[in-house]
Chain A
């Protein structure tokens, strides 16, 4: 069967010379739910931005549902891949929740009636019915995240890509969001350093550190490998850390 996502030997370096990805290869089949975990600066966001052609690298190949991310394919790929950004203030740019959730469907060319249906459906999925006329800037962070996800669900993508869905959420909001995401059936890729959420949500987990995939396995296997998690800054190091003498400036 054709892969949902197939990445071969992808490398990416930012303009300022920061190498963010170094030879990443990855295959994801349809319907899979995958966690991408790694410490800050590991390259998670950079990897996700390659999945709908926001970033395109000359080094390596990214194929989405059999189509390579090239200029001529982008329109179709962006319909298939729904990308939820790390900061909801980036994702929500329209004056009202309705306009924001309707933005994608309108651009897809849906007729008025269908746009309305899609918006209503998406808001219901994320439990935010009745908020159509509110302004995104006045919502709480948890609400913003739900709406951000609704703006993507309204486009019914085949692949859902979410960057740090639980950052800044309180435990209850985090759990509600996990339940919401678990209820979806499309291919899902979730980048996070929240192991609890990944464990609850994803069958398979990839550990990214310093631009490379250092582990790729079933989630329970990754989560029980404490040494691996410690080595990549995802679990606290064992043993008592002796306080070091830090000199006169901090020892006053």
Chain B
């Protein structure tokens, strides 16, 4: 209850990226991410990073918010950077390339899915003909992850209030193991009940929702520009070098 999913916290702002058709936005920014990941050259990768930052700026999502959510990514990239720069086949330049590309890709996630409500993202995926099973999995993960984490927290609180302390011993390990096991069992029970509730209302394997997305010239234009940039980034590397 305390922790709400936050990735779409700034979906209510208004910017050229917010009012972009969700399908065009997903495809265009995803293309850009892929293009950036493919860049073999540090300078061009820096250009990619600059473009990512520009898009983030246009989206008006506060940088403090992005930074907070990127902490764990940075914690993952930092040791990788150190290791790669120390290996003979790597070196500082290679390590920087990886770090810059990773950073750019992660930053782009914010304008991509942070600028619309999560349910809109799900519907856009659905309309883009992503397999229905996959879309439903994403949707249910989003809906129930907080129910489950709340459940885990409550179980843990109950243990702690009965004198359980985390230590480095077998007892702690086995207790935590049992807790996780219980969580699985509870989740299974819940999914059975949710499924019953869905079937009761006529669920037949497909989730149907009403949405009307409208693609305007501006939407297509924005997508075209971004995809052109994406292609250009890769082309420069492979023609110049």
Contact = CB atoms under 8 A, between A and B. Distances in A.
A46 B87 CA distance: 64
Interface in A55-108: 75, 78-79, 82-83, 85, 87, 89-91, 93-96, 99, 102-104, 106-108
Contact of A95 (B119, B193, B202): B119
B209 A155 contact: no
A54 B210 contact: no
B201 A104 contact: yes
Which of A82, A94, A138 has the most B CB atoms < 10 Å from its CB? A94
B4 A138 contact: yes
A104 B202 contact: yes
B196 A49 contact: yes
A107 B197 contact: no
B178 interface: no
Nearest to A104: B201
Contacts of B193: 85, 87, 90
Range of interface residues on chain B?
20 to 34
A137 B190 CA distance: 15
A52 interface: yes
A54 B200 contact: yes
Interface of B: 4, 117-119, 122, 139-140, 142-143, 146-147, 190, 193-194, 196-204, 207-210
B204 A106 contact: no
B142 A95 contact: yes
Contacts of B117: 95-96, 133
Contacts of A112: 210
Interface residues of A, number: 35
A78 B210 contact: no
Contacts of A155: 201-202
Given A85-B197, A99-B119, A138-B4, A106 B210 contact: yes
Contact of B203 (A83, A107, A138): A107
Nearest to B211: A99
A151 interface: yes
A115 interface: yes
A30 interface: no
B196 to A, nearest CB: 5
B200 A52 contact: yes
B194 to A, nearest CB: 5
B202 A78 contact: yes
A95 B201 contact: no
A138 to B, nearest CB: 6
